[in-house]
Protein backbone atom coordinates (compact mmCIF):
# COMPACT_ATOMS: atom_id res chain seq x y z
CA UNK A 1 0.00 0.00 0.00
CA UNK A 2 1.32 3.44 -0.84
CA UNK A 3 0.20 7.03 -1.14
CA UNK A 4 -0.98 8.14 -4.54
CA UNK A 5 -0.90 11.90 -4.18
CA UNK A 6 -1.88 13.88 -1.08
CA UNK A 7 -5.29 12.26 -0.53
CA UNK A 8 -5.31 8.86 -2.19
CA UNK A 9 -3.86 5.43 -1.58
CA UNK A 10 -2.99 2.63 -3.97
CA UNK A 11 -2.48 -1.06 -3.33
CA UNK A 12 -1.46 -4.03 -5.41
CA UNK A 13 -2.76 -7.32 -4.04
CA UNK A 14 -1.58 -10.77 -5.10
CA UNK A 15 -3.55 -13.91 -4.30
CA UNK A 16 -2.01 -17.35 -4.71
CA UNK A 17 -3.95 -20.59 -4.65
CA UNK A 18 -4.59 -23.86 -6.39
CA UNK A 19 -6.90 -22.29 -8.99
CA UNK A 20 -9.52 -25.02 -8.55
CA UNK A 21 -12.48 -22.60 -8.64
CA UNK A 22 -13.41 -18.94 -8.99
CA UNK A 23 -12.94 -16.85 -5.88
CA UNK A 24 -13.50 -13.30 -4.71
CA UNK A 25 -10.85 -10.88 -3.51
CA UNK A 26 -12.29 -7.96 -1.54
CA UNK A 27 -10.47 -4.80 -0.47
CA UNK A 28 -12.16 -2.65 2.18
CA UNK A 29 -10.65 0.83 2.65
CA UNK A 30 -11.06 2.42 6.08
CA UNK A 31 -10.01 5.33 8.22
CA UNK A 32 -9.59 5.67 11.96
CA UNK A 33 -10.22 8.89 13.81
CA UNK A 34 -8.15 10.24 16.72
CA UNK A 35 -10.15 8.07 19.16
CA UNK A 36 -9.35 4.91 17.18
CA UNK A 37 -12.85 4.42 15.82
CA UNK A 38 -12.68 2.88 12.35
CA UNK A 39 -15.10 3.35 9.48
CA UNK A 40 -15.10 1.54 6.13
CA UNK A 41 -15.36 4.12 3.35
CA UNK A 42 -15.26 1.85 0.28
CA UNK A 43 -15.29 -1.81 -0.68
CA UNK A 44 -13.86 -3.03 -3.96
CA UNK A 45 -14.31 -6.66 -5.08
CA UNK A 46 -12.45 -8.52 -7.82
CA UNK A 47 -13.08 -11.98 -9.23
CA UNK A 48 -10.17 -14.40 -9.04
CA UNK A 49 -10.68 -16.66 -12.08
CA UNK A 50 -10.49 -20.43 -11.88
CA UNK A 51 -7.35 -21.93 -13.36
CA UNK A 52 -5.05 -19.18 -12.06
CA UNK A 53 -2.53 -20.07 -9.38
CA UNK A 54 -1.55 -16.39 -9.00
CA UNK A 55 -3.72 -13.31 -9.49
CA UNK A 56 -2.71 -9.65 -9.00
CA UNK A 57 -5.11 -6.71 -8.94
CA UNK A 58 -4.46 -3.01 -8.39
CA UNK A 59 -6.78 -0.84 -6.30
CA UNK A 60 -6.96 2.92 -5.70
CA UNK A 61 -9.05 4.95 -3.26
CA UNK A 62 -9.44 8.65 -2.46
CA UNK A 63 -9.03 9.20 1.29
CA UNK A 64 -9.54 12.24 3.47
CA UNK A 65 -6.32 13.75 4.78
CA UNK A 66 -8.13 14.90 7.94
CA UNK A 67 -8.04 11.41 9.48
CA UNK A 68 -4.80 10.37 11.19
CA UNK A 69 -4.92 6.70 10.20
CA UNK A 70 -6.19 4.97 7.09
CA UNK A 71 -5.72 1.56 5.59
CA UNK A 72 -7.26 -1.47 3.99
CA UNK A 73 -8.40 -4.95 4.82
CA UNK A 74 -7.96 -7.63 2.18
CA UNK A 75 -10.09 -10.77 2.31
CA UNK A 76 -10.75 -13.77 0.11
CA UNK A 77 -13.72 -16.05 -0.40
CA UNK A 78 -13.25 -18.93 -0.17
CA UNK A 79 -10.93 -18.42 2.77
CA UNK A 80 -7.32 -19.50 2.45
CA UNK A 81 -6.64 -22.94 3.86
CA UNK A 82 -3.11 -22.03 4.92
CA UNK A 83 -0.68 -19.13 4.84
CA UNK A 84 -1.94 -15.78 6.09
CA UNK A 85 -5.58 -16.86 6.28
CA UNK A 86 -8.51 -15.20 4.58
CA UNK A 87 -7.88 -11.58 5.59
CA UNK A 88 -5.13 -9.13 6.40
CA UNK A 89 -5.29 -5.50 7.54
CA UNK A 90 -2.70 -2.80 6.87
CA UNK A 91 -2.87 0.69 8.34
CA UNK A 92 -0.71 3.81 8.05
CA UNK A 93 -0.54 7.05 9.96
CA UNK A 94 1.67 8.75 7.39
CA UNK A 95 2.11 8.82 3.66
CA UNK A 96 4.71 6.06 3.50
CA UNK A 97 4.86 2.74 1.75
CA UNK A 98 3.90 -0.18 4.00
CA UNK A 99 3.57 -3.85 3.23
84 CB-contact burial (10 Å; exposed 0-12 / middle 13-18 / buried 19+) = exposed
Mean pLDDT of the chain: 81
pTM of the model as a whole: 0.79
Q: Given pLDDT bands bounded at 50, 70 and 90, which one contains residue 96?
A: very low
Answer yes or no: are the C-beta atoms of 62 and 7 closer than 8 Å.
yes
Considering only CA atoms, which of 14, 18, 13, 1 is closest in space to residue 78?
Answer: 18
φ and ψ at residue 38, rounded to 5 degrees: -100, 150
Sign of the Cα pseudo-torsion (27, 17, 79, 21, in order): positive
pLDDT tens, position by position, 26-56: 999 988 888 888 899 999 999 999 999 999 9
Amino acid sequence: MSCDGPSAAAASVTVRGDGAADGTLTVSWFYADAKGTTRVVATQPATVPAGRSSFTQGFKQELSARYPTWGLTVSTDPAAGRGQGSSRTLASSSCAVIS
